[in-house]
Structure 1
Amino acid sequence: MNQPMFDIPKEKVLALIPARGGSKGLPRKNVLMAGGRPLIGWTIAAAQASHVIGTTVLSSDDEEIMATARACGCAVPFRRPEELASDTAATMDVVLHALDQLPPYEYLVLLQPTSPLRTEADIDAAFELMVRSGAPSCVSVSGAEQSPYWMYRVGADDRLSAVLPVPEGVTRRQDLPAIYTLNGAIYIARIDWLRRVRSFVSAETVAYKMPAERSIDIDTREDFEKFCSIVEQQVR
């Protein structure tokens, strides 16, 4: 998508990139280099290239991450409080804190730096889907690797009970209904609705489908190495 197919000024759209310094699974992951740029730089670049985003802001408690984001051209107008940078801090509290520090916007695009293969085209298409459908929010999803229709609970007597009943007549995995999971790449919402609902997901939310190859979520060293391998193949 080259240009958005609707008339919403970019000045009304804020992108927020949350990146705290205390990662446990892969320490300092947001500033690790991959393909000639820090991990967080991939998300900043996608936001900057988007046709719908007007301002991109970082929320972080970490000086190195803040300096790295600034070097990539991302605004860092405030520092996240320590109490919102712990392992137990809720993402929505981080979002609302950021919104309270900034001038008013109408739409928020939350972009996690651990999803570096999400593109500007994905962001624009997700935003357009939300606007065209009249929904208050849109989140990105990808096909689930394991179907819950073939998952079971194990009781105290070691007997199996199905998590979900398999639809009548279905005997093959490929005939099961398609199931999707949040891939963490894109969360978009009208800010007035978001403040009221305090969640990006409700019965009104629409889903933007992304392929598995762009849905990588970096949490471990193995995830990061896989990403580096993908990037190296792209630049050859």
Structure 2
Amino acid sequence: MKKLDKCIAIIPARGGSKGVPRKNLRLINGKPLIQYTIEAALGSRFIDQTIVSTDCPEIARVSVEAGARIPFMRPDALAEDHSRTIDVLQHAIEFYEGQGKVYEHIVLLQPTSPLRNSLDIDEAYSIFQQNDADSLQSVCPVMQHPFLLRKFNDSQLSPYQSVEDERLRRQDLEELFVLNGAIYIVKKQLLMEQSSLVGANNCGYIMPKSRSIDIDDELDLEVAEVYLRKTQHH
């Protein structure tokens, strides 16, 4: 009989990164960036196993010190610039199934979201379970509504999205949300059989903008450090 651990957190972290070199190892407020995500996963009530999929020995060492598992080193073919996250997740699930371990739910946690915390993961997972969802993604409110977007055609400025009533007030606009990249949850079947992170019964978990920072460049690192200093002083 295969042992069924319900939920695995997979943190994908390759060594190379374009925007910020050695991004996952960069210290923010005294801790490597990836450590924030590992600690959030380890603090979750629902996650049975937390692993990091990496091709970099130094990331592996830091991750183990922070409490994550490194069950394998990621193959080079899955650590290219154009490698797909789906393939990285499937590789990890296949590795465990080869050892007779089956995980029903996969939580993808990108290390570039250091302000997402254990409570966010637990609340997202609760929504996922309550709705018997196939998948869930975390989002945050959009600050720039599409109605306010403009495009250039030569030197002419025109609305990106035409609206029936140009006199709409900002507060009348429908509330919209954007994926923030912090939490993805998916049923194993959807991931493995349909190679997708978005199923027919798809839910969302709303996070505030303050915890939705996604580290893409040096400015993001500085902003995240300011927020982390603030939250850790309270």
TM over 0.5: same fold? yes
Q: Distance in 2 between matches of 1:10 and 1:37?
A: 33
Deviation at 1:166, TM superposition (A): 2.5
Work out whether residues 144 and 179 of structure 1, in 8 Å CA contact, stay in contact via their aligned partners in 2. Answer: yes
RMSD: 2.0
Displacement over 3 Å in runs of 4+: 152-159, 162-165, 167-170
**130, 133, 146: which one pairs with 2:131?**
133
Whether the 8 Å CA contact 1:167–1:176 is kept in 2: the answer is no
Give the 3-state SS of the residue equivalent to 2:114 in structure 1: coil
Is residue 138–residue 207 contact of structure 1 (8 Å, CA) maintained in 2?
yes
Residue equivalent to 1:39 = 33
Q: 1:10 to 1:47 in 2, by over 3 A?
A: farther
Among 136, 144, 163, which residue is 1:146 paired with?
144
Find out whether 1:124 has 2:118 as its counterpart. no
1:65-76 equivalences in 2 (<5 Å): 65-76=59-70
- For each residue in 1:129-167, what CA deviation from the matched residue of structure 2 results, as whole angstroms up to 9, or x when unmatched? 01111211111000112111222444468463x443435
Unaligned runs of 5+ in 1: 1-8
| Counterpart position of 1:84 | 78
Task: State the AA in 2 paired with 1:143.
Answer: P
Provide the rounded CA distance (Å) in 2 between the counterparts of 1:86 and 1:132: 37
Query: Take 1:226 and 1:17, find their aligned partners in 2: how far apart are those partners?
Result: 22
Residue of structure 2 equivalent to 1:219: 216
Q: Distance in 2 between matches of 1:163 and 1:46?
A: 38
Counterpart CA distance in 1 for 2:232 and 2:154 is 53
The two structures have a TM-score, normalised by structure 2, of: 0.90
Q: 1:234 to 1:205 in 2, by over 3 A?
A: same
**Match runs of 1:68-217 below 5 Å:** 68-102=62-96, 103-155=101-153, 158=156, 160=158, 162-166=159-163, 168=165, 171-217=168-214
Give the deviation of 1:10 after TM superposition: 9.0
Please give the per-residue CA displacement for 1:35-59, whole angstroms capped at 9, x wherever unaligned: 3321111000010010000000110
**Percentage of identical aligned residues:** 41
Give me the whole-angstrom Cα distance separating, in 1, the residues matched to 2:34 and 2:162: 42
| Cα 1:100–1:156 shift into 2, 3 Å | same
More displaced, 208-217 or 165-174? Answer: 165-174
* SS of 2:24 mapped into structure 1: helix
Tell me how far apart the structure 2 counterparts of residues 56 and 84 of structure 1 sit (CA, whole Å): 19
Deviation sequence 1:165-209 (CA, Å, 0-9, x none): 435475212211111110000000111122223222244211100
Richer in strand (by share): 2
Q: Tell me the distance in 2 between the aligned counterparts of 1:132 and 1:168.
A: 39
